[in-house]
Amino acid sequence: MSCNILAIETSCDDTCASIISDGVILSNIISSQKIHAQYGGVVPELSAREHLSSLPCVVQRSLEEAHVDFANLSAVAFTYGPGLHGSLLVGATYAKSLSFALNIPLIAVNHLCGHVFAGCITRGLKFPFLCLLVSGGNTMIVKVSSFSEIDILCQTVDDALGEAYDKIAKIMGLEYPGGKIIDSLAKKGDEFMFKFPTVKISDDKMSFSGLKTAFRLFIEKNSQTNAAFIENNINNICASIQHHLLNTVVKKLVFWIKETGITTLTIGGGVASNMGLREMLSDIAADMRLEFIVPKQEYCVDNAAMIAFCAYEKYKHGFFVDYDHATDPKLKI
Ligand code: KG4
C-alpha cells in the first residue's frame, strides 16, 4: 500500500496543503491571503482567522488533485514553527484533530527545514550542500551534512532580506509584498545608477536594517529637490537597490563556499524566486564549478510541498509526535 501523507502549512499568510505519495508530490495547493495588502504587512489576528476559514477547503482540494481520500492517508504533518502563533495553532490543531479522528501518526516539521530541503524535492537528497535561505522572516546560509545535521554559518542580525525588500518597497509607495515588484522593475533599470552604503560586519553575520534607513534618507533627500524623483527613476532605483541587496548576500555566500569547499548549492524561501538572484548564482555556480539546485518557484514561496517532503523523511524513520507537541513561533533551525 502507498504511503500518503497530508502536509499542512499555516505559518504566516498562505494557507497550504500538499499530498506526498511514496516521496512524490501529487498536489501543492497555496491559498494566499489578500486581506493584508491594505495594511502594508501581515496582520497576525486576521491571518489566523483566514486560515481557519480556508484550511478545510484547501485540504479538500489537495486531496482531490492527488486523487487520495482521507481514508487512504498514512500520516498527517504540520508546520510547528517558526511563524505567527495564532496561524501555527490553526494548522497544528487541524492536523492533530485529523490524526486523532483517522488514528494515523502525526508529524511535526520545522518551516525552515522545509525551505532548506525545497530544492531536494525534485532532485533527491545528496549531502553535503550549502543553502541560502532568504525569506520574509529569515535570512541565513546553512551547511547541510545530513537530514538532521544543519549548521548555521551566517545569518542576519536584524531584518530578513524579504523584509528589507518589503520595507524598501513601502518607502517607494509600492504595494505589499514589494519584493516581487522591485524584482520586475529592476529588470528595466540601470543597477549602477545609485550607490548605497555597505555595512561592515563579520563573515557570520548580515544586517539590513541600516540600509533601510539609508534608503529612506536617500529618497527623502532626492524628493526635496525633485518631487517626482521616485516616479521618474523607479526602474533605476529598483535596479540599484536590488543590486546592492543581492550583492551583500552573495558576497557572504561566496566566502562560505570557499571556506567550506562544498560544491553543491541550493536556495530556498520567498526571495529565492528573485530572478536577479537566480541569475547571479547561476553565473557564480558556472564560474566556481558548483552544482546549483534551483527549486521550482512554487516550492520557494511558503508551501506545503516542502513540509510534505520533510514529513516523508521523518515518516520513514518513525519520527512521530504526540498530541501535546507544542507550536513554537520562535523555532530555530
Ligand atoms: O518565504 P516566503 O513566502 O514567506 C515568509 O517568509 O513568510 O517569503 C515572502 C517574502 C516576502 O518578503 C516577499 O517580498 C519576498 O519573499 N519575495 C521576493 C520575491 N518574491 C517574493 N523578494 C524579492 N524578489 C522576488 N521575486
List pLDDT tens digits, range 193-226: 999 999 899 999 999 999 999 999 999 999 999 9
Give pLDDT, residue 41.
84
Look at residue 288 in the predicted model and tell me its pLDDT. 98
- What's the gap in Å between 271 CA and the centre of ligand 1? 4
Q: Kindly state whether residue 31 falls inside one of the protein's structural domains.
A: yes
- The number of angstroms, rounded, from the C-alpha of 17 to the middle of its chain's C-alpha atoms is 16
Report whether residue 83 contacts ligand 1, using a CB cutoff of 6 Å: no
pLDDT at position 135: 95
Q: In the prediction, which pLDDT does 57 show?
A: 98
C-alpha 197/C-alpha 311 separation (Å) is 42
For ligand 1, the distance from its centroid to the CA atom of residue 146, given in whole angstroms, is 26
Evaluate: CB of 183 within 6 angstroms of ligand 1.
Answer: yes
Cβ neighbours for 128, distance < 8 A, ≥ 6 positions apart: 143, 144, 145, 260, 262, 264
User: What is d(CA 50, CA 186) in angstroms, rounded to the nearest whole number?
Assistant: 33
pLDDT digits (tens, 9 = 90+) for 86-116: 999 999 999 999 999 999 999 999 999 999 9
- pLDDT > 70: what percent of the chain? 100
Establish if 133 belongs to a structural domain: yes
Clarify whether residues 285 and 139 are in a common domain. Answer: yes
pLDDT at position 39: 87
Same domain, 148 and 270: yes
CA distance 28 to 303: 7
Q: Which of 135, 159, 181, 238 to mutate to test the pocket of ligand 1 (most atoms within 8 A of CB)?
A: 135
pLDDT at 1 over 90: no
Closest CA relative to residue 144, chosen from 157, 135, 136, 153: 153
Q: Tell which atom from ligand 1 comes closest to the C-alpha of 161.
A: 12
193 falls within a domain: yes
What value does the mean pLDDT of the chain take? Answer: 97
pLDDT at position 37 over 90: no
Q: Which residue has the cell 496543503?
A: 17
HEC profile for 198-240? CCCCCCCEECCHHHHHHHHHHHHHHHHHCCCHHHHHHHHHHHH
Q: What is the mean pLDDT of residues 126-146?
A: 96
Residue 84 CA neighbour count, 13 Å, CB half: 22
The count of other CB atoms within 10 Å of the CB of residue 188 is: 11
pLDDT at 270 over 90: yes
Tell me how far the alpha carbon of residue 58 lies from the centroid of ligand 1, in angstroms: 21
pLDDT band with cut points at 50, 70 and 90 for residue 4: very high
Are 190 and 154 in a shared domain?
Answer: yes
Residue 80 above 90 pLDDT? yes
pLDDT for 40 beyond 90: no
Examine the domain organization and report whether 84 and 185 are in the same domain. Answer: no
Residue 262 in contact with residue 219, Cβ under 8 Å?
A: no
- Mutate-to-test residue for ligand 1 from 165, 174, 294, highest number of ligand atoms within 8 A of CB: 165
Grid cell of 30 as nine digits: 497555496
Whether residues 303 and 257 share a domain: the answer is: no
Q: In the chain, pLDDT over 90 holds for what percent of residues?
A: 95
* Nearest residue to 273 via CA among 135, 95, 103, 124: 135
Question: CA 197 → CA 112, 238, 240, 241, distances in Å?
Answer: 30, 16, 12, 11
Same domain? 10 vs 149: no
Which residues 6+ apart lie within 8 Å of 153 measured at CB? 130, 140, 141, 142, 143, 204, 256, 259, 260
Is the pLDDT reported for residue 11 higher than 90? yes
Q: Assess whether 178 and 107 both reside in one domain.
A: no
Q: Is residue 331 part of a domain?
A: no
161 lies in which domain range?
125-295
